Structure 1
Amino acid sequence: MQLKNSLWVGLLSATLVLTGCAALAPEDDEQAQRLDELEDRLSQLERLVDSDSLVNLASQLDEVQAELRGMRGEIENLDYQLDGTAERQREIYLDVDRRLRRLEVGGAPEADQVPDVHLGQTPTDTPSEEGDPQAAYEEAFGLLRDGRYDAAGEAFEAFLEDHEDSDLGPNARYWLGEVHYVTRDYEQATAEFQRVLDDYPESNKLADSKLKLAFSYYELERWDEARDLLGEVRENYPDSSAARLANSRLNRMDEEGR
């Protein structure tokens, strides 16, 4: 609208000029020609001001600004939702690991099975019995599940010092790598995931460890190493969830030009 007001001021000025020129009643050809030129310019300005294009343009700008404000609000809402989703996924993932371990020992006597850990329970309230690998593992795992990462890291390290050769050794080493990964210590995360591959070549944590090792390489911008491992996971474990996640990350790297 400011532009339109400016044009009206121009029209008024041009009108005053023409009025003045008409009052002089020029006789010579040069003055008549200049008067004709001014009239032509005035006609062009009138057509421009009368056009709806300026009004439409201003309306469109208002609509774009309104859409941008709405998009900013939606983005902020999505960020909030993603934070909550990430937390829920972490809890689900930890719970799935617990359930898988129970299935792995499904043929063992009831007393030897992994105790059920409910989300509302705090297993760290009662210290584990000294020398009991299962209790020590559950204690460390409970700390991780509760988001107490520093304490969980210390607990898994203590477990590995005392029970590294137990059946739970590969899981403990893997989750120690997860502790470092979620706290963004990617260098140490790569070391722990690599230890799973080196020390427990027959472990059922190989696929997950290779996947998370590749993710750690990705965060460290070691693109070639990340790609090699992701491709290996996709090829060697085609029907696993790790393979699907590996394929998704490879597609993402393709889109990013990594």
Structure 2
Amino acid sequence: MRKSLMAALLTSLAFMPVGSALAQSGGSGSQANAELFYMIQQLQGEVRRLQGRVEEQGHQIERLTEQARDRYIDLDQRILDLSAKVSEADKPATAASAEQGGAQGQPQPVKQKEYRAPTAEEKKAYDTIQTLIREEKKFNEAINALYDFIDRYDEGDLTVNAYYWLGEVYLAEDQLEQAKQAFTIVATRFGDHRKAPDAVYKLGVTLDRLGETAEAKRRMESVVRKYPDSNAASLAKSYLDGKRG
């Protein structure tokens, strides 16, 4: 009976001042008044708790939005910084290539280099991220973990992998601009890493999905030219053949 009465009074009494509710109860007796008073107090308390939850969730959404924006800006700034460094480094390299290549000036395939091997702790952290991505499909958690990983560990083999997987997760989430930036970092800054062919190919895929078909084609051609023996080169050839067809 008490539950039925609470349900019936939820809308009409939840925001009603307690004194008004008691006045309307007339002379039904002190026990009934006390019970009604108790029920109203419960309802009003529940409303306050719900309002508090809504406000808290609103703050959480606002915080997450700010974090996402800050990360986007941070990633964009990293690309700008890295692009500037690569441009400076490429100036003498371009001149040397022209001397070696002669009239043709044909670029040579990129040779991979060894990066710093991960520590046991670093490997464990990376494996945890892979579990979030591959098995649990918790992409938002994986993005947070990848940023933490990149910030925590010095540049090494798995750091480059982390940038690459950041691009993969953003691509899976259809956040194409963020994916483009992450793959660009690997393609531009770490072109001699073992993940570079895959990153350049995925950058081409991302650009194609963004409608930047000319740039996508250029990236695919660079995969074939720079990494001819890679699996990514085979995929890039298939892409290019499909566009020609």
Question: What TM-score comes out, normalization by structure 2 length?
Answer: 0.49
Higher RCO (CA-CA < 8 Å; seq separation 6+): 2
If the length of structure 1 is used for normalisation, what is the TM-score? 0.47
Q: Say which one has the larger Rg.
A: 1
